[in-house]
Structure 1
Amino acid sequence: MSTAPSHSTDPTDPVPPTLAEDLLLLLFDPRNGVFHGEGVPLFHVLAGAVLVDLAEQDRVEVAATPTWRGRPVTARGDVPPADALLRPTWERVARSPVDVQQLIVETGPVLRPATVDRLVERGHLRRERRKVLGLLPVTALADGGTPRRAELVAAVRATLVDGAEPDARTAALAGLISASGSLPALHREIPWSGAVHDRGRALQEADRGTAEAAEAVRRTVVAALATMVVTATAAGQAR
């Protein structure tokens, strides 16, 4: 039985949620108002989610085999995506093909604020004023009270913990989080175990996309994320 949240939380909303939005919302920790994997890991996984969305729309393709330039990503079509979250990445690729890892590094940092703004606009997150140590006012993020995050957590938990068969979107979410190394941070809601690790790895590698070309990009993206995580971890241990 497939378990998945609806693609849009509001049937009147003309802009359905991007994979990056759902991914960032899933990584939000309502207890302290921060995102799991904050910093470089979060930048990377958001960029990966945007690439997967562009592939699902047949907007990008990736070289079938590596070249001296890595695995170049190229744009398909001449019309930019309508969604403002996806458009900058497509425009970057449209200017000139670029290796998938380099594209992730380039586009990731600018995606976080834009994606947060989108989640606030939809009401899934809200900004509130708080005081640090009772003195310094700061703006913090808090849960917006919509059911969207609970739906996403339930779908990914059913897939990874209970072994339910996911739809392509849930499989992409779980695979991206697994590849990024952020899955253990969700332990309170998606209990971490060896079986969860193995299912996450399987989703990184399995053919679960709705289109062959889109699935090829997804596998390339999660493989790139996993490689970048391993490289960053090794560099950190060497210091």
Structure 2
Amino acid sequence: MSRVLLVSAGPGAPGLMTVRAAEAVRTAEALLYDALVCDEAVALAPERCIRIRTGKRSGKASMKQETINRLMLRLARRGLTVVRLKGGDASVFGRSGEERAFLEANGVAVEIVPGVTAASAAAAQFGFPLTHRGEARRLMLATARTRDGALADGGWREAADPETTVALYMAGASAAAVAERLMAEGRRPATPALAVENAGRPEARLVRTDLAGLPAAVAAAAFEGPVLLLVGEVAAQAKDQSPRTVPIPVGRLAGQGA
């Protein structure tokens, strides 16, 4: 049976890619990869593997989802092992549900390989928890805007709960609207807030502020990479600098180069 693996590459640092993900890429005969996937992950694919860059970066030109679906199906029907390599975790705003439904409806077996999502990577990198006893007993992962670009209607009342940590993906351009809506729903203007660019990568940047100051802080930072917004009491624990780490080559994680 034809088979496609929907593989999570993690937030970008090679060492945050799982062993299973690295193994999947090493077996790929066709690799469709997103723009935010690191070069080291793509380089794991065999020399004769077909490599197709799909884009998939907020605000940038990308291959249409329907085109990606048809490509995966066509390659799988040729009997190739197809790996669809996605940034972060494929099941967190990675459209894995859409792709899986399309492929299975066309008789293709699908395996999903999980990975590290940006909120977890940011918390580990800058030293703060996403949940914390007495401060945050819920975590909300969300996007601020709908498919047509409008601010999402639902979920803001729950996000205003003071014991909820809110992680908003691909939200840099929505900082002003997000802050206004959360404060309108009752979240304190002084609630600690963070903006993280390129979470999990060596070049990640952190901006510490509060909810009221979030729009100005994001505007002043002039971010160019993907931005994650985090709002909640736990954000006050963030360190200004991520700790120095020793890079671990992906090949070694996959059992190579030991």
**Same fold (TM > 0.5):** no
Taking structure 1 as the reference length, what is the TM-score of the superposition?
Answer: 0.27
Q: Please tell me whether Structure 1 or Structure 2 has the larger radius of gyration of its CA atoms.
A: 2
More contact order relative to length (CA 8 Å, sep ≥ 6):
1
Taking structure 2 as the reference length, what is the TM-score of the superposition?
Answer: 0.26
Q: Is the helix fraction higher in 1 or 2?
A: 1
Q: Is the strand fraction higher in 1 or 2?
A: 2
